[in-house]
């Protein structure tokens, strides 16, 4: 059995201990800062024992474990980063003792146990995909907030813009750049038609002659909530620029995600599912990593937080409670959107589809629309897992 370096990670520092395969404590638990000097000193102490096959085990702590994980990986150690929930399940006891030193020894006991399952680190492709996926979700969330502010300011400065640029056109690159330059009705009223036309012509807009005329006529009739010198007008110009920049950044990330995901062997099987496009396929791969690491559908649904919560009171046991939501929230969002899109597409094309049939079955059972969609997400997961497992046979 390998010797074990157990690390209890905190923000900017960690508690470490080294235990031999025979159970002898070689390095008593002590605290190291996440600095190159402390890491190097720890490595020198470890090397003095001249041990073979030293494994490093730590719990995943968001981003805080990344520096020490990187150091030991670059020094050719075998590193295991485990889910904190898995670690907690293995160290339950009657006494509620919890110290950093105790946590180190709990990690050692977990590693030495027969039930320890080696959590193989995903290859770089999946790590890069996951990093891009999280960046996409972060930017998308920020962009939604900025869009809400943008629409509110639009109503105050020139509400008729929503009639000129209908629907999602108000978020198009041309509309955003135009609104950035002309954020108020009075500014347009005071601008010559030929200058407005040159703007649209430069952007190769199809109706570059007629569109500016319509905008100017609308501006002359408009009476905004604020005058053109109000600070809110400059705020609108700024929001229009930010929305445009965020959308361009998101488009670049989406392109990168699809480009990388196509290198995965799971891309084609998942993409073959009716109603799932290339980007949705790519995000699923980015969040699930190597799908073959899940042994069955129960593990996969638990990872996504779609497993039912179980409640017991006396002899009454409810095994069909609401979903636990304790897993990957991004996967739940992706699957929900994917199932909604499949049902919408099938409704338009009238193509027979097992996801849509299952949705109708749940609706006929009296399930609410949202509950029926959530039920479909589990079915979609089953389909994804089956296709990927079939590929690995």
Q: Per residue in 330-370, pLDDT tens? A: 999 999 999 999 999 998 888 889 999 999 999 999 999 99
Q: What is the pLDDT of residues 290-333, one digit of tens each?
A: 888 888 888 888 888 888 765 544 444 444 557 777 788 999 99
**DSSP H stretches of helix in 60-123:** 66-74, 84-90, 100-112
Domain residue spans of the chain:
3-121, 128-259, 278-392
Q: How far, in Å, are 22, 27, 339, 385 from residue 1 at the CA level?
A: 8, 18, 46, 33
Residue 123 in this model has a pLDDT that exceeds 90: no
The 8-class DSSP code of residue 165 comes to S
Q: What are 174-178's contacts with CB under 8 Å, separation 24+? A: 174/200, 174/203, 174/205, 176/240, 176/241, 176/243, 176/244, 176/247, 177/203, 177/240, 177/244
* Angle at which helices 329-349 and 278-288 cross, to 10°: 150
Alpha carbons 329 and 331: distance in angstroms, whole number: 5
Task: Give the strand pairing for 54-59 and 3-10.
Answer: parallel
Identify the DSSP state of 192: -
Q: Convert the pLDDT of each residue in 127-164 to its tens digit.
A: 899 999 999 999 999 999 999 999 999 999 999 999 99
Q: Are 21 and 43 in contact (CB under 8 A)?
A: no
pLDDT of residue 362: 93
What's this model's pTM, rounded to 2 decimal places?
Answer: 0.79
Question: Does the pLDDT value for residue 70 go beyond 70?
Answer: yes
Quick one: CATH architecture of 3-121?
2-Layer Sandwich (3.30)
CATH class of 128-259: mainly alpha
> Could you give the CA distance from residue 22 to residue 101 in angstroms, rounded to a whole number?
19
Q: Is the pLDDT of residue 95 over 50?
A: no
């Amino acid at each position: 059995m390998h010797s074990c370096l157990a690390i209890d990670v905190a923000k900017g520092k960690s508690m470490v201990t080294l235990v031999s395969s025979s159970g002898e404590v070689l390095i008593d638990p002590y605290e190291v800062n996440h600095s190159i000097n402390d890491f190097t000193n720890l490595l020198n102490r470890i090397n003095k024992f001249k041990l073979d096959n030293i494994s490093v085990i730590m719990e995943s702590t968001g981003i805080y474990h990344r520096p020490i994980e990187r150091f030991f990986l670059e020094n050719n150690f075998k590193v295991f980063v485990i889910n904190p929930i898995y670690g907690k399940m293995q160290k339950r006891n009657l006494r509620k003792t919890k110290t950093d030193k105790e946590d180190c020894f709990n990690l050692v006991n977990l590693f030495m146990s027969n039930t320890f399952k080696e959590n193989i680190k995903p290859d770089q492709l999946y790590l890069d995909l996951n990093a891009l996926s999280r960046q996409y979700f972060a930017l998308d969330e920020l962009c939604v907030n900025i869009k809400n502010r943008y629409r509110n300011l639009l109503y105050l400065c020139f509400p008729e813009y929503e009639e000129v640029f209908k629907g999602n056109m108000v978020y198009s690159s041309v509309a955003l750049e135009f609104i950035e330059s002309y954020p108020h009705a009075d500014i347009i009223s005071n601008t010559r038609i030929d200058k407005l036309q040159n703007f649209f012509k430069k952007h190769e807009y199809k109706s570059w002659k007629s569109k500016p005329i319509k905008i100017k006529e609308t501006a002359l009739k408009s009476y905004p909530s604020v005058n053109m010198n109000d600070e809110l007008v400059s705020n609108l110009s700024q929001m229009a620029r930010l929305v445009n920049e965020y959308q361009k950044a998101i488009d670049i990330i989406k392109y990168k995600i699809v480009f990388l995901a196509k290198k995965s062997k799971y891309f084609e099987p998942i993409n073959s599912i009716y109603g799932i496009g290339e980007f949705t396929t790519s995000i699923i791969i980015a969040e699930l990593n190597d799908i073959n690491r899940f042994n069955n559908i129960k593990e996969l649904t638990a990872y996504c937080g779609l497993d039912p919560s179980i409640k017991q009171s006396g002899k009454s046991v409810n095994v069909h409670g609401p979903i636990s939501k304790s897993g990957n929230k991004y996967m739940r969002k992706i699957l929900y959107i994917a199932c909604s899109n499949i049902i919408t597409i099938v409704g338009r094309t009238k193509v027979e589809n097992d996801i849509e049939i299952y949705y109708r079955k749940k609706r006929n059972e009296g399930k609410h629309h949202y509950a029926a969609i959530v039920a479909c997400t589990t079915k979609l997961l089953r389909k994804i897992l089956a296709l990927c497992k079939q590929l690995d046979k």
